[in-house]
Chain A
Amino acid sequence: MLIEHSETILAVRDLTASVNGIPILNGLNLEVKAGEVHAIMGRNGSGKSTFSKVLAGHPDYEVTGGTLTYLGQDLLGMAPEQRAQAGLFLAFQYPLEIPGVSNLDFLRLACNSRRRYLGLSELDPLDFDDFIQAKLEIVEIDPAFLQRSVNEGFSGGEKKRNEILQMALLEPRLGVLDEIDSGLDIDALRIVAKGVNTLASPQNSTIVITHYQRLLDYILPDYVHVMEAGKITITGDRSLALELEERGYAWTEDAPEPLEIA
């Protein structure tokens, strides 16, 4: 939702970043305000996932220039856990399996680290049990999943739902969903999208990274950005996604400068 004079959650200016010395992001600009949903689309290798990793602070991605400001704070000076505690959440394209760590314990540790940051009391295992029940319904996860090791043996759809469950528990200000639709059948996609929509509020914002327009039938973006060669080349509204679906990405290469269609 677009809200006038709302707070800026994320401001990205001329961001450049590289992996193993190879430049991937080449001057990316983006501003995300409270209440907004942004979709970033683009072909494989355009830098979408790299951008999500840079936002979350992955150590393999080196920021070589530009600024990254989150709620007025310089993100580049913050460790991955500090970003998470401050309410920046990345839903992974490929959530990792962590054998031996119970999902329930992991979720409680994560939830409490965010609560500490917010000055809220930590939840003991009993309180957490109550707290999580309502969240489970949002993503339609069987409580039995809490007793298993984190993501171990989960199907693709179960892993993605577990990511949205984590988002529901952490109540982020900025949720970054990296290819949350990959590997999902239509039912799982609906559940995941419903979860994302339920969690959206005028205070927080979401960046949805995807290849396909299909996801945007369920999660309605306020802005659609096309990424090409490590920067945003076109910005538009939902109709841009439909146009991409119809015409493919090739025509966007002709755009010399970022276009404002909105």
Chain B
Amino acid sequence: MTVSPLSKPEGQSRRSDYLRYLWQLGQADLSSFPVPPWRQQLHHQAGVLLQAQAIPGPQEEEWRATSLAGLLELEWTAAQAPQVITKASPEAKVWSGRVGDLLAGDECFRGLGDLAGLGEVFTTLNAACFTTLTVVRLQPGQVVAAPVELKFAIPPGVVTFPRLLVVAAAGSSLTLLEEYVSTGAGPSLTLGVTEVYLEPGAQVSHVRLQDQGTETYHLGRTLVSQAKASRYQGCTLDKGGQLSRHDLTVCHQGPAAQTNLAGLTLARGDQVSDTHTAIIHAHPQGFSRQLHKGIIADRAQGVFRGKVVVPQTGQLTDAGQLNRNLLLSSRARVDTQPQLEITADNVKCTHGATVSHLLEEEMFYIQSRGLDRLATEQLLLRAFAAEIIQQIPLASRRLALMADLTFHL
């Protein structure tokens, strides 16, 4: 049974109806295959919560800068699992498939949902609806040298619920590429959840590339848990989507964890690209550095909300955050808001945000050396973007992304 939400008037009831519409699409897909009991239980719990929830509106703090009103106009043919294209060495033991194919008591999915607890509406919706699962699980001390590459390919016309679980056991090391692409033109809706666990001393370098079509809606959440002395290096690039939203939360669950986040938002046309991050330094001697950059062209809109939380238990935390934005047209917009919530008294925390245009003096200096205006602009923009792209630990991707970086101003 499917209800069309489109005839409903704007407002709270329309947003709750639209959520139920998405949920029913997901249920229809889930019921077409056998589902193991653990999955049924999660599905049920999520379903109870969804009864009281709705697609968030502008009055909700987390969605103040980004409107989902356009989403409520869209209808989907079905919910469909993403195609997951995996490239990994056999030692990496990547499991990807239908949840029904997992055996009861299988260790594989242990930890699933612990981090992405239910509550937030899209996490809950994903929990209620995902039908396939991708798991990367490293053994203690295992070092996987070759990067694990996961490409989530999403067809037009559907709503999809990607779900990824990464568990890096104590002392293990992994480089992971998580990539979202569209297989054709036209709108689609991606509601993904990724959970990454770093056990004591684990090291994970995690690259997330979102390059879906410009008519798509992409709402993704990444949740990272870091145990004692683990190191997480996150590099994100968001360049696709009519509306793209990425929520990244990193929580230190043990002392002396290190986090390094680098992010780049590229938005043009009438794209809206929103990044919300939170780093929670709940244990002492944590370290984090974050650099998020945005290049916003045309009539596009960029949003960055970066939260750094240091509760009383986070003494001797060293946290630094910087958000830099370049606006390439007079109609481009950026909404940036660093947010420090510090209770501990012996910490070092810095933050900053800049919004600027290309500087005429820089342009003139370069032009006076013989480069024309277009080449000068490209040189400056590439330099601005390169600071993030150079941090991607996959040489081939780095080169391809740099080669692909052209801006039509």
A residues with CB within 8 A of B: 56-60, 79-81, 83-85, 90, 92, 95-96, 98-101, 106, 109-110, 113-114, 117, 149, 166, 170
Contact = CB atoms under 8 A, between A and B. Distances in A.
A81 B371 contact: yes
28 contacts: A58-B364, A59-B364, A79-B373, A80-B368, A81-B367, A81-B371, A81-B373, A81-B376, A83-B368, A84-B368, A84-B369, A92-B368, A96-B361, A98-B362, A99-B387, A100-B383, A100-B386, A106-B369, A109-B375, A109-B379, A110-B370, A113-B369, A113-B370, A114-B370, A117-B370, A149-B383, A166-B369, A170-B370
Contacts of B366: 98, 106
B94 to A, nearest CB: 35
Interface string B356-397: 000011101111111111011001101110110000000000
A98 B383 CA distance: 9
A96 B372 contact: no
Given A57-B367, A58-B364, A85-B370, 10 more contacts: A60-B360, A80-B364, A80-B368, A81-B371, A95-B365, A100-B382, A100-B386, A100-B387, A109-B369, A110-B371
Interface of B: 360-362, 364-373, 375-376, 379-380, 382-384, 386-387
Contacts of B371: 81, 109-110, 113
Nearest to A92: B365
Contacts of A58: 364
Contacts of B369: 81, 84, 106, 109-110, 113, 166, 170
Contacts of B387: 99-100
A56 B362 contact: no
B362 A96 contact: yes
Contact of A79 (B365, B372, B383): B372
A92 B371 CA distance: 16
A104 to B, nearest CB: 13
A191 to B, nearest CB: 21
A81 B365 CA distance: 10
Given A81-B370, A110-B370, A170-B370, A98 B364 contact: no
Given A100-B384, A100-B387, A80 B367 contact: yes
A148 to B, nearest CB: 13
B409 to A, nearest CB: 16
Contacts of A100: 382-384, 386-387
A91 to B, nearest CB: 10
A102 to B, nearest CB: 9
A166 B370 CA distance: 11
B367 A84 contact: yes
Nearest to A80: B367
Nearest to B379: A101
A84 B368 CA distance: 6
Contacts of B368: 56-57, 80-81, 83-84, 90, 92
Contact of B365 (A96, A109, A113, A170): A96
A140 B383 CA distance: 27
Nearest to B381: A100
B380 A101 contact: yes
A175 to B, nearest CB: 12
B367 A101 contact: no
A198 to B, nearest CB: 20
Contact of B360 (A59, A95, A99, A149): A59
A117 B372 CA distance: 13
Contacts of A149: 383
A45 to B, nearest CB: 20
Nearest to A105: B379
A166 B379 CA distance: 17
Closest 5 pairs (CB-CB, A-B) = A100-B383, A113-B370, A110-B369, A84-B370, A80-B367
B360 to A, nearest CB: 7
Greatest chain B CB density within 10 A among A56, A98, A166 is at A98
Given A81-B373, A170-B370, A101 B383 contact: yes
A116 B382 CA distance: 23
A98 to B, nearest CB: 6
A109 to B, nearest CB: 6
